[in-house]
Structure 1
Amino acid sequence: MFTVFSPPKPTHDEARRTVAPDADEICRGLLKGEFRAFVQPKFDIVSNTILSVEVLARWQHPECGVLTPAAFISTMAREDLLDDLLSALLDQGLAAQVELRNQGQVLGFAFNLSLNQLANETWVSALIARLQRHPMSLSLVTFEITEDGPAIASARCVQNILRLRQIGVRLSLDDYGTGHSSLYRLCQLPFDEIKLAGEFTREVLRSSQHQSVARATVLLARELGMRLVVEGIETQEQRLCLAQMGVRIGQGYLCARPMPVECLSGWLSSSSRDFAA
């Protein structure tokens, strides 16, 4: 059995707020360090072993409580603030990765990155310099490429992705199956991992079409020599169904809800007893 971590519940003010924070408010939050790294584990759905985590952004808003990306990510993208957000998450996530290593637990950490960010050569150079200061193997760092970029990655994006690969960073195709260009992305960019979107998991028990797509994705990942992660696993029934199809790695509430990165070490220690049960 898994121990499910419940993150702080939204405050009453957050539930009532309907107007998205503006760019000035977001900038102030970035300067004050209000954007925090939360993590959600990726786990072996057969053995329950925790393999890695995805780093997710949360805004610890002074008035509204904990806000999810739905409240701020579109404004950040429009105002070119995603680089600042990723820098904050990298600092917190990589520091936590080192701390876990010092405690005897080596886990991969994954961060979200858009193709639009990869078009900036100067910024990518700074990112590479930051990563090369990390005292652990960069094969333990993954960038999940989101499906919000152009249908065909520019030559500059491809070159910058290759630069990241050359220093050892791994690449994942996020939300596979929901973007219009997923199949072409697999041919164009050197991915190590495919993440099947949670939309398929939610329907996998009652839709033969969704089951067929999941089985086909298992075979596709195997044929391409890529790791497959299935998102959105919330029930034991989903887990068993996917395991029977050959899926080995999952992510979702069945294992844990997103938790503050500083809570990860304690969660790993407490949940290890449940894995052995």
Structure 2
Amino acid sequence: MLTPPSLALISSPPHHRQRTLLGQPDNLSVSEVLAKLPSADDVQWGLRRREFVSYVQPKFDLRTGQVNSVEVLARWHHPLYGVLGPATFISVMEHEKWLDKLLFELMEQSLAWQIKLHDQGKLIGMAFNLSLSQLMSDTLINCLETRLRRHPLPLSSLTLEITEDGPSSVCATSVEQLNRLRLLGIRLSLDDFGTGYSSLLRLCQVPFSEIKLAKEFTQFTDVPSRYPAVIRNTLALAADLDMQLVVEGIETVAQQNLFSDMGAKIGQGFLCAKPMAIDAFERWVQNPYSYCQTRSAI
């Protein structure tokens, strides 16, 4: 297993963590305590103890319900508060520059699982989130290249979803790093398209192979507005650029039908499935069609 040196496990007295998490007035509710979590020490301890776990959410064919790929998402299996979502820890990780640690932890778990599923006869594509700010690190890219070159499955089955985290254009260093990864055979996806600072400029600067239309557009397709026109033009843009378009936030059959009729092929959202643990997905994927609505069943 290749992990950056900073991921090495470091022991820390459990009682110290108890004081960090539970050193609150007795009259605070659990929700109030959680509102004060996590501190940087708490998150660091969670990383060292490998409490951050890969969850996956399927991407599905809008017409057939078929699932061939997933997005890998992080969940914190907190020893005191159960499963916590990214809103409770991502901002701390960004501030402390620990997103690389999280990426490698999720990747190690998920790639091992992808190999296991492949051995069972099913190749599931996997997408990981990577922010533009992370691309400034040569160390990260070098570690990624080394790790991915050892992966026995086609790297075209892996996608990096690039998230926008600032108003500036992609600098030359970021473009060079992305091209290095693209030359390995990895697919690049522009996440949350339409809501960032300069998404159209990103498309011109980086060799993306996928656009993910932000869920904000999905929510307003059932009311008179300009949203459908923007969506139709985004679909046309993706086709002209020879990119796949994934529609985020599909929660109703009506949304599924509308986007399918408009020409979209791939969706992601609660209509198909919520994010789930890897072992749950292994059971789920044996018969996903009972969960994903299909046009023939509508």
Q: Which residue of 1 aligns with 2:107?
A: 90
Q: Which residue of 2 aligns with 1:216?
A: 233
The secondary structure found in structure 2 opposite 1:269 is coil
Q: Distance in 1 between matches of 2:80 and 2:90?
A: 18
Question: Structure 2: any 5+ residue segments left out of the alignment?
Answer: 1-28
- Measure how far apart 1:207 and its partner are: 3.8
- Measure how far apart 1:204 and its partner are: 1.1
Q: Which residue of 2 aligns with 1:126?
A: 143
Identity across matched positions, percent: 50
The secondary structure found in structure 1 opposite 2:60 is strand
Normalised by the length of structure 1, the TM-score is 0.92
Which structure carries more relative contact order (alpha carbon 8 Å, separation 6+)?
1
- Measure how far apart 1:64 and its partner are: 1.4
Cα pair distance change 1:149/1:168, threshold 3 Å: farther
- Which string of whole-angstrom CA distances, capped at 9 and with x for unpartnered residues, describes residues 82-106 of structure 1? 0000000001111111111011111
- Max Rg structure: 2
Q: Which residue of 1 aligns with 2:34?
A: 17
Question: Structure 1: any 5+ residue segments left out of the alignment?
Answer: 1-11
Is the Cα contact below 8 Å between 2:65 and 2:288 reproduced in 1?
no
Q: Distance in 2 between matches of 1:23 and 1:144?
A: 26
Normalised by the length of structure 2, the TM-score is 0.86
Cα pair distance change 1:36/1:207, threshold 3 Å: farther
Cα pair distance change 1:245/1:257, threshold 3 Å: same
Moved over 4 A (4+): 272-277
Q: Distance in 1 between matches of 2:215 and 2:258?
A: 14
Q: Give the residue type in structure 2 aligned to 1:52.
A: S
The secondary structure found in structure 1 opposite 2:68 is strand
- Measure how far apart 1:272 and its partner are: 4.3
Q: Which residue of 2 aligns with 1:36?
A: 53
Q: Distance in 1 between matches of 2:202 and 2:37?
A: 32
Count of matched residue pairs: 266
Q: Which residue of 1 aligns with 2:175?
A: 158
Q: Which residue of 2 aligns with 1:61?
A: 78
The secondary structure found in structure 1 opposite 2:113 is helix
Q: Distance in 1 between matches of 2:81 and 2:290?
A: 36
- Which string of whole-angstrom CA distances, capped at 9 and with x for unpartnered residues, describes residues 80-138 of structure 1? 00000000000111111111101111111000001111111122111110111111000
Q: Which residue of 2 aligns with 1:5?
A: none
Q: Which residue of 1 aligns with 2:132?
A: 115
The secondary structure found in structure 1 opposite 2:170 is coil
Cα pair distance change 1:234/1:274, threshold 3 Å: closer
Candidates 271, 274, 280, aligned match of 1:263: 280
Are residue 74 (structure 1) and residue 67 (structure 2) matched?
no
Task: Please tell me the root mean square deviation across aligned C-alpha atoms, in Å.
Answer: 1.6
- Measure how far apart 1:261 and its partner are: 1.4
Are residue 104 (structure 1) and residue 160 (structure 2) matched?
no
